[in-house]
Chains A and B, each alone.
Chain A
Amino acid sequence: MDEKQTYTVSIYTENNIGVLNRISAIFQRRHINLESVNVSKSEIKSVSRITLLVQVTEDQIKKIIGQLEKQVEVIKAYYHTDEATIYQESCLFKLSTDLLTENDEIQKVINSSKSRVININKDFFVLEKSGTKEEVEELYHLLDKYGIKQFIRSGRIAITRDEMRVSELLKGN
């Protein structure tokens, strides 16, 4: 109960200015770092879904969910362990095009990691990979020695195995 672990927090909110600020302030006040943040549309029109990744205890996250749901513009908040979600992170690498012509090493990495080249020109190419944080990290380590010109990773996005029933909540009001 009291051990910190990674939780995916999914928050359904109104798509209004300042909601993200209000939500992040709840974590800031409790001295909790947000490991990743993603804001997007949800399955419900005009409702946003904010996905956060935090390292906390279950006791902490339960109380935080209460504070999140207390916010006027939050419709519903959930927390899940990795096992309860199907999740992905996406990343982009910018690498030198020379690497492709020098030998087939990099091509092997691309194939084995199930990443794909999404842009190429005479100077650089862009490699895209979606997967778990670990898969992305692994690819990063494989590519590191070739010289990564730029690297970026998105926040986690996650679909839960359980139903969310947020539409029903909105109808209830």
Chain B
Amino acid sequence: METKTTTSTVKGVKTNVTISGAEAVIKCLLAEGVDILYGYPGGAIMPVYDELYKYQKELHHVLTRHEQGATHAAQGYARATGKVGVAIATSGPGATNLITGIADAQIDSTPMVCITGQVAEHLLGTDAFQETDIVGISTPVTKWNYQITKASEIPEVLAKAFYIARSGRPGPVLIDITKNAQFEKFEFSYEPCTSVRSYKAVPKLELDAVKKAAELINEAKKPFIIWGQGVILGKAEEEFKTFIEKTGIPSASTLLGLSALPTKHKLHVGLVGMHGNYGPNKLTNECDVLIAIGMRFDDRVTGDLSRYAKQAKVVHFEIDPAEVNKNVFADVPVLGDVKESLKEILPFVDEKEHTDWLQEFRNHDAVEFDKVIKRDLYPLKEGLTMGEVIKEINNASKGKAIVVTDVGQHQMIACRYADFNQSKSNITSGGLGTMGFALPAAIGAKMGTPEREVVAVIGDGGYQMTIQELGTILQTKAAVKIVVLNNEFLGMVRQWQQLFFDKRYASTVMTNPDFVTIAQGYHIPAKRVTKREELASAVSEMMQSEEAFFLEVCVEKEDNVFPMIPTGSSVSEVRLS
């Protein structure tokens, strides 16, 4: 802890000069190591923008084309870097436009700080121009929020905001600052926040729980691991790999856990969930010990809970106590930071190989390959499949790219087939299922990791929800590769209509614009592929491009994503057709 007399520290900033609240906001962001933020100006946040103008060398502000884009860009940045993403907007509509991204960050545990301008304190509650109760509106979808009405509150509240956003189970924090507080002058000093008395970021790891967990794991004949994003958020990829390699346990990922372990790792048995792999879904109901690591048993993972892993003892490694026993009862909960827990348990677990058990997964893989994967990746029919596009991207990227996906069929296909060699390479909207996420998230991911290739794979529906962010790409020259898989349908909804609503395609047919022309209008090189023989070279051209590139692939219109666990079914009822 720093003392009040410190004049300068690594992170702390102490000055005795009087500055405005608006300038203090910038100084706090700089003290927190922020070098980029995404936003959109407007009346109530103008004093802060005026300071952003003055500090533009230190702090890069990216003007998105819509505030929602700012939040998704901040999310993409956070997911690619592991750092806190920052979005900024004005009061009223600027603030309400942030809500979708905030809700997305909340349910997907993404560290994000949103700053909104607010009308002056004396106007609060008067229905002033662009006044909205954003603190009230954002309460259910934020980890924490606060309204600042005095400049002197800014340093402490922003320090707290960053601490809360990044610590424990991360999440979004919104800070609303009235305009008078932005103008007001005060004596600025900054100290990073290291604790909040009413908030316990990480529960204390109990050695007893670790030993009990190890006992169950050692006795198991058919242990099975499902890991989630907790492994990535907890920076525990190495510990996780060491743990599974020692215990030899077949391990499957949730949607958001993907890329924590290289796709081709011998113990990686695929993806669980509604459109996950056949083996891990089916064998969830055959394992004797289910080890959940940093995952929350989402309904898209479990299917019918009353028929989910009932035969298994459950060990749950989790940082958030509210997740334990929420959906699935844990025989042994191991609360704590997963990095620490996995390190702690390692000496207690036996070195093992589960050859026969692992083979059962591989046998299921063979069935899935025959029934599903073959026709997705090596189609014989004329129309292009989404799967073969992902396969080409894998070939070109060698599994090194960050793949950002939107929501729908293309997302499931991309997450099923994309190769990941490196952590933080899968960025998608999981819990909230936000169409329109991918394009702005890819911009943020690229800016956060300029050295990496970032490929956004998007459906024709979701693309049009935030298509205006092409303007952000034009202005910033973010070298994002955009692949739109166009089937002229809202494909996932259409698939459900086909399977469960007797093909009544209510409002799922899309009459689309010329996407290539639109991209070209934003001066983004663009190409359309309609035939298989053009695909490989077009993908390769896109990947080799030094700048942003748009590729539209016209795919088979009425393809379905399988395997599938229909709503209300058990994981063992996973369908292959």
Chain A: residues with CB nearer than 8 A to chain B?
Answer: 13-14, 17-18, 21-22, 25, 29, 62-63, 66-67, 69-70, 72-75, 170, 173
Which one of B195, B197, B322 lies within 8 Å of A70 (CB-CB)? B322
How far is B325's CA from A63's CA once the two chains are assembled, in angstroms?
Answer: 8
Taking the nearest CB of chain A, how far is it from the CB of B161, in angstroms? Answer: 10
Known A-B contacts A18-B139, A173-B200; the reply to A69 vs B322 at CB < 8 A is: yes
Residues of A within 8 A of B321 (CB): 66, 69-70
Can you pick out 25 interface pairs between chain A and chain B where the beta carbons lie within 8 Å of each other? Answer: A13-B198, A14-B198, A18-B139, A18-B145, A18-B146, A18-B147, A25-B139, A29-B140, A62-B325, A66-B322, A66-B324, A67-B322, A69-B321, A70-B320, A72-B143, A72-B144, A72-B164, A72-B196, A72-B198, A72-B199, A73-B198, A74-B198, A75-B198, A173-B195, A173-B197
Q: Which residues of A contact B324 (CB under 8 A)?
A: 66
Chain B residue nearest in CB terms to A70: B322
Asked if B326 is an interface residue, CB under 8 A from chain A, the answer is yes
List residues of B (190-210) whose CB comes within 8 Å of A's CBs: 195-200
- A18-B198 contact, Cβ under 8 Å, with A25-B140, A62-B325, A72-B143: no
Distance to closest chain B CB from A73 (angstroms): 5
B197 touches A170 (CB 8 A): yes
Kindly report which residue of chain A lies nearest to residue B173, judged by CB atoms: A72
Question: Whole-angstrom distance between the alpha carbons of A29 and B140 in the complex?
Answer: 9
Chain B residues in 8 Å Cβ range of A70: 320-322
Q: Which residue of A lies closest to B160 (CB)?
A: A72
A69: which B residues are within 8 A, CB to CB?
A: 321-322
Smallest beta-carbon distance B275→chain A, Å = 27
Residues of the A chain whose Cβ atoms lie less than 8 Å from the Cβ of B145: 18
Are B197 and A21 in contact (CB-based, < 8 A)?
no
Residues of B within 8 A of A72 (CB): 143-144, 164, 196, 198-199
Measured CB to CB, the nearest residue on chain A to B164 is A72
**Which residues of B line the A interface, CB within 8 A?**
135-136, 139-140, 143-147, 164, 195-200, 320-322, 324-326
A106 to B198 Cα, complex, angstroms: 50
Partner of B135, one of A14, A18, A29, A74: A18
In the bound complex, residues from chain B placing their C-beta under 8 Å from that of A25 are 139-140
A134 shortest CB reach to chain B, Å: 34
Nearest-Cβ distance from residue A20 to partner chain B, whole angstroms: 10
Considering the chains assembled together, what is the distance between the CA atoms of A173 and B195 in angstroms? 7
Give A39 Cβ to nearest chain B Cβ, in Å. Answer: 16
Residues of B within 8 A of A75 (CB): 197-198
Q: Name the 9 nearest CB pairs between A and B, nearest first.
A: A66-B322, A72-B144, A75-B198, A72-B199, A25-B140, A173-B197, A70-B322, A22-B139, A14-B198
Considering the chains assembled together, what is the distance between the CA atoms of A49 and B324 in angstroms? 26
Please, which residues of chain B bring their CB within 8 A of the CB of A22? 139-140
Given contact pairs A22-B139, A63-B326, A73-B198, a sample of 7 additional A-B residue pairs in the complex whose CB atoms are under 8 Å apart: A18-B146, A63-B325, A66-B321, A70-B320, A72-B199, A74-B198, A170-B198
A14–B144 Cα distance when bound, in Å, is: 13
A70 to B318, CA, bound (A): 13
Q: How close is B114's CB to chain A, nearest CB, in angstroms?
A: 16
Please, how many angstroms separate the alpha-carbon atoms of A13 and B198 in the complex?
8
B416 to chain A, nearest CB (A): 32
Question: For residue A62, which residues in chain B have a CB less than 8 angstroms away from its CB?
Answer: 325
B146 contacts across to A, CB distance below 8 A: 18
With both beta carbons as reference points, the residue of chain B lying nearest to A170 in the complex is identified as: B197
Give Cα A53–Cα B145 distance, bound, in whole angstroms.
26
Q: Distance in Å from the Cβ of B432 to the closest Cβ of chain A?
A: 15
Q: How far is the CA of A12 from the CA of B435 in the complex (A)?
A: 39
Q: Which residue of A lies closest to B200 (CB)?
A: A173
Q: In the complex, which residues of chain B have a beta carbon less than 8 angstroms from the beta carbon of A21?
A: 136, 139
**How many angstroms from the CA of A17 to the CA of B133 in the assembled complex?**
13
A84 to B9 CA separation, bound complex (whole angstroms): 51
Shortest Cβ distance from residue A130 to the other chain B in the assembled complex, whole angstroms: 31
B325 contact set on A, CB distance < 8 A: 62-63
User: Shortest distance in angstroms between B106's beta carbon and chain A's nearest beta carbon?
Assistant: 11
